[in-house]
Chain A
Amino acid sequence: MTNATTRPASDYPPGGDAFRHRHLTGIAQLTPWEISYILDAAEQWVELNRSGAAKHDDRLAGLTIINAFFENSTRTLLSFEIAGKRLGADVVNMHAAQSSVKKGETLIDTAMTLNAMRADAIVIRHSASGAVQLIADKVDCPVLNAGDGRHEHPTQALLDALTIRRRLGKVEGLTIAICGDVLHSRVARSNILALTLLGNEVRVIAPATLTPPAMERMHVATFTDMDEGLKDADVVMMLRLQNERMDGAYLPSAREYHALYGLTPQRLEKAKPDAIVMHPGPMNRGVEIDSSIADDPARSTITEQVEMGVAVRMACLDILTRRQRGVPGWN
């Protein structure tokens, strides 16, 4: 099968067979056609979101969605909130990072509390790998992973795939270089899984200290030389470098990181002439990416990724709540 373009609904199994999962905890649980199914579903929300004043669809009216963020976030939280509201749901944000909830000792208790409030979907971000799965096992409603530790951030990978597909007309058979702090990045893990699953060649470009072990088992090639890794890439996906990594433990300095792994116009010339540059944000301008690239609309997809984020999250919320809403064929 191909993921080149949007496919008609008749290409998918009917009803709930097209997407059998109760939760979205990670890309690792998905098949290629389930990814395509979400991407195709997101297309209509891209259109709706661009349609001017009436950006509203009330299919989730009456449903309560809780965004439980145990770790600080601005853009992902905002994106999920807008996605829920565009679909007519009542969206409640819980900033657990600032509340009395600390560490994992109360995580299950918090999950049970949210469950008792009869949420219809819970969106969770947590600093510990596996925390979202832990909560998903305890609650009755669908759980969406908005990032757990360095494990997965599935909606980010889906929005990146959608962005690539819309920009380059396909998201298969491409050469995609993921550059930066792969070791600590859930965005990288989810993207590696999604993009290899869809049939792309994925490369990882990272300092040796920030390359996870056993990458070959994830079917990616690793590079420590950025010029070499960028050669003939269709997509250059930059990762954010957390400030605390630059203090000497993993990297000598931000200056040295920029010299070796910063994306400059000269470096980008190694990639294909029409290569696109992606970044999950927020960016460290002048560290991992030069402003001249980030601000070049012909190359940078950064704002488009944010836009696709809302559409993809609308699609995920819609699909995962179909069983509760009694959508025909979904039971």
Chain B
Amino acid sequence: MELRPLHIVNALLVDGAAPRAGSLLAVDGRIAAIDPTDIPEGAETVDARGQWLAPGIIDLGVFATDKPAFHFGGITRAALMPDTGPLDGAGLVERAAKGGKPDLWVHPIAAATKGLEGRELAEIGLMKAAGARAVATGRGRIADSGVMRRVLAYAASLGLVTIIHAEDEGLTAGAVATDGEMATRLGLSSAPAIAEAMAIARDLALVEETGAPVHFRQVTTARGLDLIRVAKARGMPVLCGITPAHLFLSDTAIGDFRTFARLSPPLRSEDDRQACLAAVADGTIDILSSGHDPRGPEDKRLPFAEALPGMAGAETLLAMGLNLVRDGHITPGRLFEMLATTPARLLGVDVGRLAIGKEADLILVDPDTPWQVDAKKMAAWAGNTPFDGMPVQGRATMIWKGGQRIR
């Protein structure tokens, strides 16, 4: 079937720049013109009726290819963490990359070490050739500093960013919460929040030494963010991200042993949450992602410490991001920089902006439509959301991948 040109009119164009009213033309799957005057014959016209037209969300660091959830959430590309498998060989990467076809891009992230065991380098070069777009340490960090140094240098030589989970494993061994009143009252094993800053500090030293680009997938503490801020000011090739959970929930959410709020890293104190919001506002945090990790009752309907960490976040990512806009922390343009432009740059894919020549991965967003998060009615294959019951606003109403309407 031939792809008809796509002409979206009456839209508010939202990407890195300031939002403005306009229209967009996509031809052969790529953005051909902004505010076009010549419309090709046979073009399909979509009236956006004032809704936001934005680049499709690129969800950096998900743990499952969960298409219904991604489509609900306006996510056109998902960068898949290497933990399931694990993705430590070219064949596995190739298969994972096909997991989204035909209507979702899946960009596999290569395991940094064989079996993600933190000891021997995985075949990162072959995985890159098979479609891997970055390298990651997985759910944990690489404990051995020597191995980590070699991973960073090797990945950098292949032009790949290393995505890091930053928690000191000695401090966090056995812990399921952050030290504080909540963990103490609930009798849960906990670790001090500095476990994050300690891990970041080591890896920043290695970045300084190797010059390798890195992305700390989730930075959730004031101390950790301070280190990132200093590193960026010194011009180091460092990015960092966060998920909405650490921006909108503190560790009080684990009260009553709610396992949907058992996350990795664990939810932090209110002070740390405020520091995260400030870091979103001042630009220290570069990427907002969902960390989508659907877990069924067999993993979640357990005593808190026995439940597995993780939340299904793909469906709420956009609505929570819009909360940041409504609360005045960021502009709409900055939101889509965090959701699309920066992740695209990290992965080296030619999308993430409303610019001529970019692939036409697009979403229409009604930023005001109200809905309620309901764990029992999620599109994701499991409804483990800590935002259950929360009234939110805003959702993706249409999605195009490469100029092809998929929802």
Q: Which residues of A contact B (CB under 8 A)?
A: 28, 103-105, 107-108, 126, 128-131, 133-134, 148-152, 186, 189, 212-215, 217-218
**A-B pairs with CB below 8 Å: how many?**
71
> How far is the CB of B9 from the nearest CB of chain A, in Å?
52
Does B306 belong to the interface (CB within 8 Å)? yes
Can you name the residue of chain A whose Cβ is closest to the Cβ of B301? A108
* Cβ contact within 8 Å between B181 and A217: yes
8 extra A-B contacts, CB within 8 A, seeds A28-B185, A189-B185: A103-B306, A130-B188, A186-B187, A189-B184, A213-B190, A214-B179, A214-B180, A214-B183
Contact of B184 among A103, A108, A149, A212 (CB under 8 A): A212
Contact with A along B241-260 (1 / 0, CB 8 A): 00000000000000011000
Contact of B303 among A129, A215, A218 (CB under 8 A): A129
Contacts of B85 in A (CB 8 A): none
In the A-B complex, the 10 residue pairs with the smallest Cβ-Cβ separation, listed nearest first, are A130-B257, A128-B303, A151-B187, A217-B181, A150-B187, A213-B179, A129-B187, A104-B302, A104-B306, A131-B303
* Cβ contact within 8 Å between A218 and B304: no
* Cβ contact within 8 Å between A134 and B180: no
What are 11 sample pairs from A and B whose C-beta atoms fall under 8 A apart?
A104-B306, A108-B301, A128-B303, A128-B305, A129-B187, A130-B186, A149-B187, A189-B187, A213-B180, A218-B184, A218-B185
* Cβ contact within 8 Å between A213 and B305: no
Cα of A108 to Cα of B303 in the assembled complex, Å: 10
Does B298 belong to the interface (CB within 8 Å)? yes
Contact with A along B168-201 (1 / 0, CB 8 A): 0000000000011101111111101000000000
Contact of A105 among B180, B190, B302 (CB under 8 A): B302
> How far is the CB of B386 from the nearest CB of chain A, in Å?
16
* Cβ contact within 8 Å between A149 and B179: no
Cα of A104 to Cα of B305 in the assembled complex, Å: 10
Can you name the residue of chain B whose Cβ is closest to the Cβ of A216? B181
Can you name the residue of chain A whose Cβ is closest to the Cβ of B176? A129
> How far is the CB of A110 from the nearest CB of chain B, in Å?
12
Can you name the residue of chain A whose Cβ is closest to the Cβ of B304? A130
Q: Which residues of B contact A (CB under 8 A)?
A: 179-181, 183-190, 192, 256-257, 298, 301-306
* Cβ contact within 8 Å between B257 and A134: yes
> How far is the CB of A269 from the nearest CB of chain B, in Å?
31
> How far is the CB of A276 from the nearest CB of chain B, in Å?
26
Contacts of A108 in B (CB 8 A): 301
Cα of A118 to Cα of B218 in the assembled complex, Å: 47
> How far is the CB of A106 from the nearest CB of chain B, in Å?
10
> How far is the CB of B388 from the nearest CB of chain A, in Å?
15
> How far is the CB of A187 from the nearest CB of chain B, in Å?
11
> How far is the CB of B263 from the nearest CB of chain A, in Å?
16
Can you name the residue of chain B whose Cβ is closest to the Cβ of A215? B184
Beyond A129-B186, A151-B187, A186-B187, whether A213 also contacts B303 by CB under 8 A is no
Contacts of A105 in B (CB 8 A): 298, 302
* Cβ contact within 8 Å between A126 and B303: yes
Contacts of A126 in B (CB 8 A): 303
> How far is the CB of A222 from the nearest CB of chain B, in Å?
12
Beyond A130-B257, A150-B187, A189-B185, whether A104 also contacts B303 by CB under 8 A is yes
Cα of A105 to Cα of B188 in the assembled complex, Å: 19
> How far is the CB of B261 from the nearest CB of chain A, in Å?
12
Contacts of A131 in B (CB 8 A): 303
Cα of A277 to Cα of B25 in the assembled complex, Å: 82
* Cβ contact within 8 Å between B184 and A107: no
Cα of A218 to Cα of B303 in the assembled complex, Å: 23
Contacts of B187 in A (CB 8 A): 129, 148-152, 186, 189
Contacts of B305 in A (CB 8 A): 128-130, 149
Contacts of A149 in B (CB 8 A): 187, 303, 305
Can you name the residue of chain B whose Cβ is closest to the Cβ of A28? B185
Contact of B257 among A107, A133, A189, A214 (CB under 8 A): A133
Contacts of A128 in B (CB 8 A): 303-306
Contacts of A107 in B (CB 8 A): 302-303
Contacts of A152 in B (CB 8 A): 187
Can you name the residue of chain A whose Cβ is closest to the Cβ of B258? A130
Can you name the residue of chain B whose Cβ is closest to the Cβ of A134? B303
Cα of A28 to Cα of B302 in the assembled complex, Å: 21
Cα of A152 to Cα of B304 in the assembled complex, Å: 14
Contacts of B257 in A (CB 8 A): 129-130, 133-134
Contacts of B192 in A (CB 8 A): 213
Cα of A218 to Cα of B321 in the assembled complex, Å: 35
Contacts of B256 in A (CB 8 A): 133
Beyond A105-B298, A213-B179, whether A130 also contacts B303 by CB under 8 A is yes
Contacts of A129 in B (CB 8 A): 186-188, 257, 303-305
